[in-house]
Structure 1
Amino acid sequence: MCYDAVLFDNDGILTRPTLLEVQREAVRRAFEEFGIAPTTETVDGVLHGSLTQLRHICDVHDVPCEVFWEHHEAHAAETQRTCLENGSKPLYDDIGVLDYLDQPLAIVSNNQHATIEYILDVFGLEGHFEVAYGRDPTIDGARVKKPNPHYIERALAELGVERALYVGDSNVDIVAANRAGIDVAFIRRPHRDGYELAADPTYEFDSLDELTAVC
């Protein structure tokens, strides 16, 4: 099938996933600004819990949720920038497939927008992508991250296309693409070995190189 555009997730697709300990460090730094030393359970609750859980955690520690989250997003972008600079968050080897795709390309990621912008800059990828969205560094931005199709739909509107393919490595990617009404390719990277899918993707590949067969 011919697509009018191809949209990519970032972490686990273009760059290797950010290490969990790096993500935890960003949460700890945010709490430290309020004089709090959080437990690992609290840190993981911020990272993996719902917005309701985040608000509960902030209430327990008497921290303004919206302010805390903006501090967290800033520290998350800063710690990941360090990872990009020291080589611990590299591009995947099959990133070269971008040179063989003729359609307009976009990035739609749940990562912080500042991180996505820095990835484009540090790896010189600006020329490949017409649109790039990470989440806004606010509670509202977190509320509409995938599996909400909000950012995918914004990218589609900006590109002026409807028939597009989204490329991701998680169930939230599949659900978000389905909700946006577009096809989705699931890339089963080594870190997704044994990962169970909650819904069937349009395609399942082992590498980005296989995109050329459908694009």
Structure 2
Amino acid sequence: MCYDAVIFDNDGVLTKPTLLEVQREAVRRAFAEFDVEPTTEAVDGVINGGLTRLRRICAVHDVPVDDFWSRHETHAAATQRACLEDGTKPLYDDVVALDDIDHPLAVVSNNQHATIEHILDVFDIGDRFEVAYGRDPTVEGARVKKPDPHYIERAMGELGVDSALYVGDSNVDVVAADRAGLDSAFIRRPHREGYQLAAEPTYELDSLDELLAVC
């Protein structure tokens, strides 16, 4: 099928996923600003839970959720920038395949927008993408992250296209694409071996090199 554009998730698609301990460190640093030492369960709840769980955890520790989240996003961007610069969050080798895709390209990620900007800058790939969105560093930004199609739809509007293929590595990517009315390509990276899909993607790929045949 012919698409007007191709939109990519970042973590697990363009760059390797951020290590869990790095994500935990950002949460701990944010809590430390409120003199709170959270349990690992609470830390993981912030990382993996939704807004309801975040609000509950903040309430237990008597921490304002909006202030906490803003500080968390700052620390998360800083810790990931360090990973990008020290090589522990590298770009996948097959990203070079994007050079051969003759469509407008975009990035829409659940990661912080500052982190996405850092990635484009550190790896000098910003000129490959016409649009790049990470989540806003606010509670509202977290609320409308994937599987909500909000940022995908914003990217589509900015690109000025009616159809696109969304490339991701998780169920939320497939669901978000479906909610935006787009086809999806699930890329099964090594960290997704045995990963169970709850929704059916349009395509399943082993490498970004395979996008050339799809597009």
Q: 2:11 aligned with 1:11, yes or no?
A: yes
Shift of 1:121: 0.5
Question: What whole-Å deviation, never above 9, does each CA across 1:174-205 have from its counterpart, x for those lacking one?
Answer: 00000000100000000000000011100001
Q: For 1:211 and 1:63, how far apart are their aligned partners in 2?
A: 45
Percent identity of equivalent pairs: 75
Question: What whole-Å deviation, never above 9, does each CA across 1:140-163 have from its counterpart, x for those lacking one?
Answer: 000000000000000000001111
Question: What whole-Å deviation, never above 9, does each CA across 1:35-90 have from its counterpart, x for those lacking one?
Answer: 01111011001111121111111111111000000000000000000000000000
What residue is the counterpart of 1:187 in the other structure? Answer: 187
Q: For 1:186 and 1:53, how far apart are their aligned partners in 2?
A: 28
What residue is the counterpart of 1:158 in the other structure? Answer: 158
What residue is the counterpart of 2:90 in the other structure? Answer: 90
What residue is the counterpart of 1:199 in the other structure? Answer: 199
Give the unaligned 5+ runs of structure 2.
Answer: none
What residue is the counterpart of 1:144 in the other structure? Answer: 144
Query: What are the within-5 Å matches in structure 2 for residues 119-134 of structure 1?
Result: 119-134=119-134
Q: Is the 8 A contact 1:189 1:207 kept in 2?
A: yes
Q: For 2:143 and 2:13, how far apart are their aligned partners in 1?
A: 23
Q: For 2:50 and 2:200, how far apart are their aligned partners in 1?
A: 25
What residue is the counterpart of 2:27 in the other structure? Answer: 27
- Cα RMSD after superposing both structures: 0.5
Q: Is the 8 A contact 1:12 1:169 kept in 2?
A: yes
Q: For 1:56 and 1:169, how far apart are their aligned partners in 2?
A: 29
Q: Is the 8 A contact 1:5 1:105 kept in 2?
A: yes
Q: Secondary structure at the match of 2:212?
A: helix
Q: For 1:127 and 1:195, how far apart are their aligned partners in 2?
A: 32
Shift of 1:132: 0.1
Q: Is the 8 A contact 1:162 1:182 kept in 2?
A: no
What residue is the counterpart of 1:108 in the other structure? Answer: 108
Q: For 1:197 and 1:57, how far apart are their aligned partners in 2?
A: 29
> Deviation above 2 Å: which 4+ runs of structure 1?
none
Shift of 1:126: 1.0
Count residues with an aligned counterpart. Answer: 215
Q: Is the 8 A contact 1:105 1:130 kept in 2?
A: yes
Give the unaligned 5+ runs of structure 1.
Answer: none
TM-score using structure 1 length:
0.99
Q: Secondary structure at the match of 2:121?
A: helix
Q: For 2:88 and 2:75, how far apart are their aligned partners in 1?
A: 17
TM-score using structure 2 length:
0.99
Q: Is the 8 A contact 1:106 1:129 kept in 2?
A: yes
